[in-house]
Amino acid sequence: MGEIGLARGAFLWGMLAIYLCAFTSLYVQIPGLYGKEGILPVRRMLPFTGKPLVEQLTDSPTLLWLCPWLGLDTEQGMEFICLLGISLSIIALVAKPFRDCFVFACLWILYLSVYQVGQVFLYFQWDSLLLESGFLAIMVAPLHLKKWRAPPVRHHDGVMFWLVRWLFFRLMFASGVVKLTSRCPTWWGLTALTYHYETQCIPTSLAWFAHQLPSWFHKLSVVIVFVLEIVVPVLFFAPVRHLRIFAFYTQILLQVLIIVTGNYNFFNLLSIVLALSLLDDQHIHYWIRRGKKQNPQRLGWLRTLQSFVIGLTELAVYVTLIYGTIHYFGLSLHWEKRIIESKTGFTFHEFTRWLKTVTPLTIWIGVMSLTWEILSSLLSSLMVRGFIAKLWATSQWAVFAVAAAAMFAVSLVPYTFIEYETNSNLRPEVRQLYDVVDRYQLVNSYGLFRRMTGVGGRPEVVVEGSYDGQKWKEIEFMYKPGNLSVAPPVVAPHQPRLDWQMWFAALGDHRHSPWFTSFIHRLLQGKRNVIRLVQVDETKYAFSTKPPTYVRAQLYKYWYTVYGTHRSFNNWWAREHVGEFFPSVSLGDPNLESLLREHGFKDKVQPKRAVKDVLPTILKLTREQVEPYSGEQVIWGLYLAVLFISLLKALTNRKDEGSPLKPGSRRREGKNVSGGEEVDADGRWKEFRRSEGKMRPPAEEQPLENVRRRK
């Protein structure tokens, strides 16, 4: 792989944008989810045990144990951590020197701290993916020993950046494999997308239109999903860069299509950021310098032969990919019907036998690819001039090569969960190392959309309230389906975590979701912070003036309306009542009290002493400023602020660069020394010759004959 400086920089910038979104989205929901009067009070997760601080951090690695030293309760500690994460992300986004390993280490520790106490509302695969990606970003990011000066090139950067590519491979390959190992009939019958658009958690309006497409197109789309998630990821490690670039664009296409048809918060954006590991600087230069023409160079016969072999290899891969897709999925074109028919051309036992062969093979491909990166970085380190510099570069290489090999070995444990025979063959030492780091979410297993739910109709829980127990009003949520005539919203990259859990709750009995009982209890109490999770604008809440006396929940099945019918002109959804999900209860109801005691929600709240410190006051004022806005509004507002500051900074720098340079004057980039040297914004030294009135590069960057002529 070629130079990766720009690709690495784009990855780090993208990780900061994801962190900003994740911390902001969680911050606006903390009072309703984890507050003292929230659904799952976070104080339950960190009870007083009397243990030393070191033992507490060992049992549960979170900075929230330090809250008493700051004069904060646990809820305020979560808010403080999120605000720190937001601030660090914004600063690093607008100031490149702050994009170093120390800042990324702080962001990772902060998110791990809230993840440890997030309970069911924070245990999603994308939260684990963010923590694993964030830990890799610590090793990928540069080390700025002196602020405002860019570091020298590190020869081990390719090794660390390779781990990001390996993570992206594990994510995509496992997500494709589990769809078939689950034996879900919709994936095997290629009908999954016939149900997916209307049964996903929070669809967008475009999902309604995608659902109206013909069934043959949905089946063909499932075939493409299998190819992009199972076959194409192997090309991530192809020695031919054009194949890696082809894999990059196919993955970007898949993620964009998911984004426009479903609200999956920051998950797809994070996948795109991970996909940047497939690129090199040469291709990024192609993006930003499209109009620049390069002088054609005459190639020797050896280079011509090499180009011919590479081109032939690419053609063979594309032909094999197309032929394999047609053969194994029985693709056939019918001109009369104007359709493309498809069917699965292999059995479950054939696939499992293939998986037993391919899983170890992908591991060996990873071993060879990582070994190549390690040896290449070693060669670069040994070619450094000067004994001290060579020793320092080699020492860095040794440390990071061992770290990369250890991370790769540990990741094999969750990766091989997709094939148990391969998993059982792993060495015990690797399993022991995995057990040690498991609590820190350094490596994780993945496998999204394992089974397709809602085949007979989308199950949906509708909460209702009443003052007399006779006339019931539906309590509408901002994001999840409820009102038949309300269009599905666009909420990503914000994740309304209560709405997501309502989707999971509808898949089973309410006793499988203990938090739902607490949610009903808070609605009966009229707790404002919980109501804001349902409707930010409280005037749209059905019981904004007075809490309901009775609350119940009904289970419905929802379907998209069919395009062209009379019903589709007014409604997006059609529904059918299934039965009762949660019985009608009121405050003091014996059934409700029994459920609250059973799930541990009846513990007494310790009286909190009045604290007038500066930090709690700042947190309170900040919360008051944010309360009127929804999560997606706050996130996009911060993104626009970062964009505005970056544009203003770019215009200022361009203006400074255009100003004339006077002898003896100082500039922000460095110091102009008469007849001497000047350091630019990139930390590179250049000679300035007053007699010639122009910059001259250092001797090591000049042609050898020019250096000899000067001597």
For the segment 562-590, the average pLDDT, to the nearest whole number, is: 88
Handedness of CA 296, 297, 298, 304 (dihedral sign): negative
pLDDT band of 35, cuts 50, 70, 90: very high
Q: Which residue stretches of 182-300 are H helix? A: 185-188, 192-199, 205-211, 215-226, 241-261, 267-275, 281-288
Q: What are the Cα distances from residue 630, in Å, to 44, 374, 502, 533, 534?
A: 27, 47, 19, 9, 11
pTM across the whole model: 0.89
For the segment 317-335, the average pLDDT, to the nearest whole number, is: 93
Place of tokens 């000049």: 702
pLDDT at residue 603, rounded to an integer: 66
For the segment 129-149, the average pLDDT, to the nearest whole number, is: 82
Q: Which two tokens stand for residue 170?
A: 């594990």
* Phi, psi dihedral angles at 150 (to 5 degrees): -70, 145
Amino acid at 704: L
pLDDT, tens digit, 9 for 90 and up, residues 150-169: 445 577 888 999 999 999 99
Q: What percent of the chain has pLDDT over 70?
A: 87
Q: Which residues of 590-625 are buried (b: 16+ CB within 10 A; e: fewer)?
A: eebeebbeebebeeeeeeeeeeeeeebeebeeebee
Looking at the predicted structure, is the pLDDT value of residue 612 above 80? no
pLDDT at residue 614, rounded to an integer: 87
Q: Quick one: which of 532, 529, 527, 518 has its CA closest to 548?
A: 527
Looking at the predicted structure, is the pLDDT value of residue 408 above 50? yes
CA dist., res. 3 & res. 520, Å (int):
56
User: In sequence order, which residues have a C-beta less than 8 Å from that of residue 654 and are 6 or more positions away?
Assistant: none
pLDDT at residue 194, rounded to an integer: 94
pLDDT at residue 538, rounded to an integer: 86
Q: What is the dihedral of CA 397, 399, 400, 406, to 10 degrees?
A: 140
Q: Which residues of 74-104 are buried (b: 16+ CB within 10 A; e: fewer)?
A: bbbbbbbbbbbbbebbbebbbebbbbbbebb
pLDDT at residue 384, rounded to an integer: 84
pLDDT at residue 392, rounded to an integer: 85
Q: Which of 14-28, 197-211, 517-531, 594-608 has the lowest mean pLDDT?
A: 594-608
Q: Which two tokens stand for residue 640?
A: 């626009």
Q: Is 330 exposed, middle or buried (0-12, 13-18, 19+ CB in 10 A)?
A: middle
Query: Who has greater pLDDT, 49 or 235?
Result: 235
pLDDT, tens digit, 9 for 90 and up, residues 507-557: 999 999 999 999 999 999 999 999 999 999 888 998 988 999 999 999 999
Residue-wise DSSP of 502-517: HHHHTTS-GGG-THHH
Query: Who has greater pLDDT, 59 or 590?
Result: 590
pLDDT at residue 338, rounded to an integer: 87
CA dist., res. 663 & res. 677, Å (int):
12
Handedness of CA 294, 279, 23, 521 (dihedral sign): positive
Q: How far is CA 296 from the centre of its chain?
A: 41
Looking at the predicted structure, is the pLDDT value of residue 708 above 80? no
For the segment 244-269, the average pLDDT, to the nearest whole number, is: 95
pLDDT at residue 295, rounded to an integer: 54
Total residues found in the chain within this entry? 711
Looking at the predicted structure, is the pLDDT value of residue 588 above 70? yes
Looking at the predicted structure, is the pLDDT value of residue 322 above 90? yes
Amino acid at 613: D
- Residue 316: how many CA atoms within 13 Å on its side-chain side? 7
- For all residues of the chain together, what is the average pLDDT? 87
Amino acid at 118: G
pLDDT at residue 449, rounded to an integer: 85
For the segment 246-264, the average pLDDT, to the nearest whole number, is: 95
Query: Who has greater pLDDT, 301 or 374?
Result: 374
CA dist., res. 585 & res. 592, Å (int):
6
Q: Which residues of 19-50 are buried (b: 16+ CB within 10 A; e: fewer)?
A: bbbbbbbbbbbbbbbbbbebbbbbbebbeeee
User: In sequence order, which residues have a C-beta less than 8 Å from that of residue 551 and are 6 or more positions away?
Assistant: 463, 464, 465, 466, 520, 523, 524, 584, 585, 586
End-to-end Cα, the chain, rounded Å: 37
Q: What are the Cα distances from residue 102, in Å, to 135, 140, 401?
A: 11, 11, 20
pLDDT at residue 284, rounded to an integer: 87
CA dist., res. 22 & res. 638, Å (int):
12
Looking at the predicted structure, is the pLDDT value of residue 691 above 80? no
Looking at the predicted structure, is the pLDDT value of residue 200 above 90? yes
pLDDT band of 479, cuts 50, 70, 90: very high
- Asked if residues 36 and 605 have their Cβ atoms less than 8 Å apart, the reply is yes
pLDDT, tens digit, 9 for 90 and up, residues 647-668: 998 888 877 766 655 454 444 4
pLDDT at residue 645, rounded to an integer: 94
pLDDT at residue 235, rounded to an integer: 96
pLDDT at residue 650, rounded to an integer: 86
Amino acid at 633: Q
CA dist., res. 318 & res. 322, Å (int):
6
Handedness of CA 690, 695, 700, 702 (dihedral sign): negative
pLDDT band of 702, cuts 50, 70, 90: very low
Looking at the predicted structure, is the pLDDT value of residue 473 above 60? yes
Largest CA distance in the chain: 99
Looking at the predicted structure, is the pLDDT value of residue 686 above 80? no
Handedness of CA 354, 360, 364, 370 (dihedral sign): positive
pLDDT at residue 13, rounded to an integer: 96
- Asked if residues 369 and 162 have their Cβ atoms less than 8 Å apart, the reply is yes
pLDDT at residue 454, rounded to an integer: 85
For the segment 349-376, the average pLDDT, to the nearest whole number, is: 95
Strand partners, 558: 458, 575
